[in-house]
Structure 1
């Protein structure tokens, strides 16, 4: 069984994670702990904790890939409504806390009791002004476990995995609570907080990101999660992306200890999986530009392979309001230092998304070069 470690966010690598799990890979996802938007925003601002959203999403993706579509997984995927009435939201939340949800009644008593206990811990720690709107029940349970186990996120994840029966692993690259992502733009301006960087204005996006870094407590770089470092040391393949390039992929290299751990396993293939489409973080960038940014962001000399979607036609294309990521005129120069695989990696049925099965087969070929390539059309450069 091949062991793969994937650096990215909670949802960017969802389809590929599912394909790897279904193909029997031993999957470890390493996700950011600095998300500052969505449900994680309210949790972080109220409780001063690391972000739970990407952790929970990656765990739910593994559950889906492993066929763990149990009632507990369905329960953890539930969200509170968008009701603007705080009193109504509190009543809805209380329905979950007291264990009245019908799905809980189908679970073994010890599982049901653990879930209700963790929700009770969470409820006791939030104040009356906590914003419950669209709150993720899975995030609430994971946070309750985190608080119940003396703020040990690794322990909380193990408990959450056990409740769902998940075999794969998910670890944040750092266990530090107070981590903020900061992006330096090319004109010298800074954009603080992950949710602001992922939603750059049109003018900021055109200016472009020069680099990203992380601020931990007292301005120091956050320290690497020892469990994530152990996973890197055991991996057969390490993948970066797809997903938000600067905030969910490259930023991991700003965690103190991650780049050193990657450099310490030189014989393990390290694969960059380029996005199919641009995003606000990568407007007017090519795959070649992103590989250069990876080097400049602390990853110089780390990558061994890059998977890049081939542009079949000589004109600009768009999907879902975003331009396709081009290969870049300088991409061929990258072949001097790493293996490039330029191929049609787009899902034929879902524009702008990866053909997850094809990517999985390609990663299998990289892990075991003696295996058959994915398709006759692929081009190693």
Structure 2
């Protein structure tokens, strides 16, 4: 939605989503079909694969999570979205890079600024909403493990083994985008997740000013919990453990709702995930309620190659919450 379109549709509920990774993109594919104004605030802590190479060689924020979100929100021809996601398998210097990452790198050089490049590419692809990096520079994510080790790099943290005590970002005084702060201030709803708790969600919340603005906002605040635990990040975590980890890092955000899956997972699928050390996230209802969060549980999973949130059912639950809140205001 262009700035002109946003003005014309100023009555639409304004939803800000925060995160990164595949889960966020899946949810956005459903949300873009609803009559809402979407702003996505996306992590810039990725340091692996194509994104890691480009951030190192071109001194730019990593484009991978931004690319995924642009692709999810694009209204352009499906083939253009497929092109963005195409990853080269051969070619010296090209193998491993996705075309979308290279285009974002080019747009950054053409416009002279990463954020401006994102805006221009979003316009070309008729992106439904705004896509904003959490900051206009790369962030290095580090983790203090409970055994005392210090792990550097978003891509290395899940591989370290052991339990995470705390993550933090460098530089610690990175500046958030003014547009991101404005979006949070004006939001009718703020969604945190789904996505990797420590490596996709936390890097956004740790940018100075963002979590404070979330807390100040009058928006309804919703946490979308992952369906499965993630080996090396949330081993053995319950729903309330996810909420506690956020509170331990940024203080209490006074979340209003937690959306969780209560749909069955086929035993053969559970066994497949168990082989990799992942289990279904358990809803410990009493502890979640003690934190002041209402719980919305629904059958929210689809199984193809991997378990994914059902974008349609998830977006419907979110839209009902937001639309109901807007009706109460009237």
Distance 1:15 1:74, change over 3 A: closer
CA-CA distance at 1:365 after TM superposition: 2.2
1:277 and 2:231 correspond:
no
Counterparts of 1:176-255 in structure 2 under 5 Å?
Answer: 176-177=137-138, 179-198=139-158, 200-201=159-160, 204=161, 207-216=162-171, 220-255=172-207
Computed over aligned residues only, the root mean square deviation of the Cα atoms, in angstroms, reads 2.4
CA-CA distance at 1:70 after TM superposition: 5.4
Question: Which of the pair has more CA radius of gyration?
Answer: 1
Question: Which residue in 1 is equivalent to 2:323?
Answer: 368
Q: Matches of 2:124 and 2:236 in 1, distance apart?
A: 44
Q: TM-score, normalised by structure 2?
A: 0.86
Distance 1:213 1:162, change over 3 A: same
Distance 1:195 1:293, change over 3 A: same
Counterparts of 1:104-115 in structure 2 under 5 Å?
Answer: none
Q: Matches of 2:141 and 2:289 in 1, distance apart?
A: 32
Q: Matches of 1:81 and 1:236 in 2, distance apart?
A: 43
1:324 and 2:275 correspond:
no
Is 2:45–2:203's contact at 8 Å kept on the other side of the alignment?
no
Q: Matches of 1:2 and 1:332 in 2, distance apart?
A: 31
Alignment partner of 1:271: what SS? strand
Is 2:21–2:68's contact at 8 Å kept on the other side of the alignment?
yes
Q: Matches of 1:370 and 1:271 in 2, distance apart?
A: 12
Counterparts of 1:279-318 in structure 2 under 5 Å?
Answer: 279-280=230-231, 281-310=233-262, 317-318=270-271
CA-CA distance at 1:317 after TM superposition: 4.0
Question: Which residue in 2 is equivalent to 1:133?
Answer: 95
Alignment partner of 1:227: what SS? helix
Gaps of 5+ in 2: 1-11
CA-CA distance at 1:79 after TM superposition: 2.9
Distance 1:317 1:138, change over 3 A: closer
Q: Matches of 1:159 and 1:371 in 2, distance apart?
A: 32
Distance 1:287 1:43, change over 3 A: same
CA-CA distance at 1:250 after TM superposition: 2.1
Q: TM-score, normalised by structure 1?
A: 0.75
Alignment coverage as a number of residue pairs: 309
Q: Matches of 1:307 and 1:165 in 2, distance apart?
A: 29
1:335 and 2:307 correspond:
no
CA-CA distance at 1:324 after TM superposition: 1.1
